[in-house]
A and B are shown apart, each in its own frame.
Chain A
Amino acid sequence: MSENAREKMTDRGVSSMPSNLKLLLLGVNHTTAPIDIRERLAIPTHRLADATRMLAEQPGIREALILSTCNRVELLTVQDDAGGDGISADGAPPMLSMIHFLNEYLQVETADIQPHVYEFREREAIRHLFRVASSLDSMVVGEPQILGQVKQSWTVGREVGAVKSTLDPLLQRAFSVAKKVRTETQIGSSTVSVASVAAELARKIFGSLAGKTVLLVGAGKMSDLAARHLIQQGATTLLVSNRTEARAQTIADALRTPSITTGVIPLEQLHEQSYRADIVITSTGAGQVFTPEIARTLLQRRKNRPVFFIDIAVPRDVAPAVNDLEGCFVYDIDDLQQVAMQNKAVRNHEAEAAESIVTREVARYSDRLSHATSTEAIKQLMLQAEAVRQQEMLRTRQQLAGVPLTEEQMAAVDRLTKSLTGKLLHPQIAALREQAEDTEPD
């Protein structure tokens, strides 16, 4: 392979994988293993480096990466080719050596793991990795954390020297595929939990929530969660109103942070004071706490600035007719759940588009990999042939020591041998190229 070709290949982020090395991925995830198995297999972050190093030292394993999250534990390895009998050069079947590692390292019985383990080889392993990085294999499809977790595993693998010339470009490709999926589809653009849907809706009304006031009426787990989401999004003032003032104070104290101002509104002053709030989260279940008349007064005092009611109570605290007032937006628990469901459907629809991107990228990567492999083999063949030619040229020169050839004659012999070598190698090179094309994906 010429230097240029080599550079081009490296530029495209693909290094050739010698044909005697194979990619193997072994793992368990939330669909194949119950939580009691996953928690026994989980490798905490502080032990990841040690575990990766140890895996890379297993017989037959050249490179290794461990991905351990709450929903999956996966071992990605580059191994010596096991050949047809499934036995590696070191005598151990590759899959067993990885299970053996889990058994040794985590003290988990092989029999306990084996029924839950999935295994992907070569192209399927590449596809799986791309899907995982793109969050297509996650419990909540499109969640963004997984990419960071894969990147963390990659960093650790590089640091301990377990991720090298084969896994490194593969992982970098996985990151760019994940990025492509995020930018070309809307897989991660909609929220799917009720609390985050409420926060997202608030952002659609107010844009930035910085400086906004949230009023919490009543206490409840979900309203508390929604308030926390709104605070995370930038809301800076939290007012609490509850039947018992002491309870309201406790809630306010629990949600107070250095950047949040909190306050308590006595329930009997709720209607007079609620105009101060941009977002009202209500969960008393007392029924009709906010009627259209009260909401109208509230709007007047707010000079028609919008107000967002998040009604988590059953029976509802906010009369549905309040939503008909200009400037009032009322979402009850059913509305929020419905939006969350619709968002899930949107994500699933986008996941189809994301799958096509992954399929395309797997094909492209495999294609480049097979080309890189055949190019490497051709390069080796040509180097060997050239070495033989040089040897023969040297021998000929020594034999003709008494009758030295002129420079022109030497050049002619050189051309002749080069031409012969090229012609003799041509069928083999063509066969290698053909073989590479045959192994290309459809």
Chain B
Amino acid sequence: MALLWLRLAVILYGVAALAVLPAALYNRPRWRHVALPAALAGAFFHFVSITETLVAAHRALPIDTHETLSWLGLLLAVAFLVLAARYRTVSFGIFVLPIVVLLAIVPAFRPGTETIVYPFIRTGWLMLHIALLLAAYAALFLSLIASMLYLIQERRLKQKRAESKRGWLPPLETLDQIGLNSLRFGLPCMTAGLLIGSVLALQTIGLTFFADPKVLLSFAMWIAYILMIYIRSNSGLRGRRAVYLSSFVFLVVLAVWAANSLSAVHRFKAP
């Protein structure tokens, strides 16, 4: 049944991803009224699917790559809905919703075969560790999109092109605010996530944990994240350079994710 809900969620996300194009690019309110309810319903069924999977398996944690990606997809869908409600913009959906579809379609139609072996202690803390880090990734991704949209809007304004009053992009300052606020939200998530993970690892693995490549890269990512916020807040970095900076940190995040294969702690294993 959980798979059915997830498939339904994927279809709804797909509808939302398609409807958001005319809604955002051509300012068609009718399509906006399709995109938002579809995304909301998709997120609901996605949540139901994840909850049902966890309840059925008597566990609280994702155990394979696909499940983890599915969690990330749900977080991004929720982030899109929050932005739509808070800033009255669906422009982010152009980039976020297709990613959500991709993140959810794989576990929906090809459930994962690899599993991660958790030291099944303090499951609640482990769950918090995973959820916080995924939230930080989602926040970083949103910040990257906000920077890219800023760049597009800036270029449009500099090229002096006419467009309707309700242009498809939010105002520059709003985009800047979204980008910075996402990072500011992501930083405590990442800090707390890493801290919880480190304490748990110290208790179960010991100091050798800190020699793990993924762990080292994770701390590098955290420093890059802090530096990015510092630079953006203090020098008012915007536009092209903000995109470069966000892209760099995003690449570090991808490297951290890829480091799973090198990690003794986080490695997903075939059953």
Contact = CB atoms under 8 A, between A and B. Distances in A.
A190 B165 contact: yes
A186 B26 CA distance: 9
Contacts of B240: 326
Contact of A304 (B162, B170, B236): B236
Given A303-B236, A326-B240, A339 B172 contact: no
A329 B241 CA distance: 17
Nearest to B237: A304
Nearest to B163: A190
B171 A206 contact: yes
A346 B161 CA distance: 12
Contacts of A138: none
Contacts of A304: 235-238
Given A183-B29, A304-B237, A203 B158 contact: no
With a 10 A CB-CB cut-off, give which of B154, B163, B234, B240 has the most chain A CB atoms: B163
B236 A203 contact: no
B160 A339 contact: yes
B165 A329 contact: no
Contacts of B165: 189-191, 200
A343 B165 CA distance: 9
B153 interface: yes
A359 interface: no
11 contacts: A186-B27, A189-B27, A189-B164, A190-B165, A204-B167, A207-B172, A323-B158, A327-B238, A329-B158, A338-B162, A342-B162
Given A204-B153, A326-B241, 6 more contacts: A184-B30, A204-B171, A205-B157, A207-B174, A304-B235, A329-B158
Interface string A171-185: 000000000000110
Contact of A205 (B30, B162, B172, B237): B172
A346 B241 CA distance: 34
A190 to B, nearest CB: 5
B239 A327 contact: yes
Given A306-B172, A326-B238, A331-B160, A189 B29 contact: no
Contact of A329 (B157, B170, B237): B157
A364 interface: no
B177 to A, nearest CB: 8
Interface in B185-242: 234-241
A8 interface: no
Given A186-B27, A306-B172, A327-B239, A204 B164 contact: no
B59 interface: no
A338 B172 contact: no
Contacts of A191: 165
B269 interface: no
B161 to A, nearest CB: 8
A205 B171 contact: yes
Task: State the 3 A-B residue pairs at the shortest beta-carbon distance, nearest first.
Answer: A342-B162, A304-B236, A303-B236
Interface string A78-89: 000000000000
Nearest to B158: A323
Contacts of A306: 172-173, 238
A327 B162 CA distance: 19
B163 to A, nearest CB: 8
Contacts of B27: 186, 189
A201 B237 contact: no
A302 interface: yes
Nearest to B29: A183
Contacts of A327: 238-239
A322 to B, nearest CB: 11
Interface in B236-271: 236-241
Contact of A335 (B160, B166, B236): B160
Given A186-B27, A191-B165, A326 B171 contact: no
Nearest to A207: B171
A12 to B, nearest CB: 22
A186 B166 CA distance: 9
Contacts of B241: 326
A326 B166 CA distance: 24
A329 B173 CA distance: 13
A40 interface: no
Contacts of A206: 171-173
Interface string A312-355: 00000000000110110101000100110011001000000000
Nearest to A341: B162
A183 B30 CA distance: 9
Contacts of B174: 207
Contacts of B239: 326-327
Contacts of B161: 342
A243 interface: no
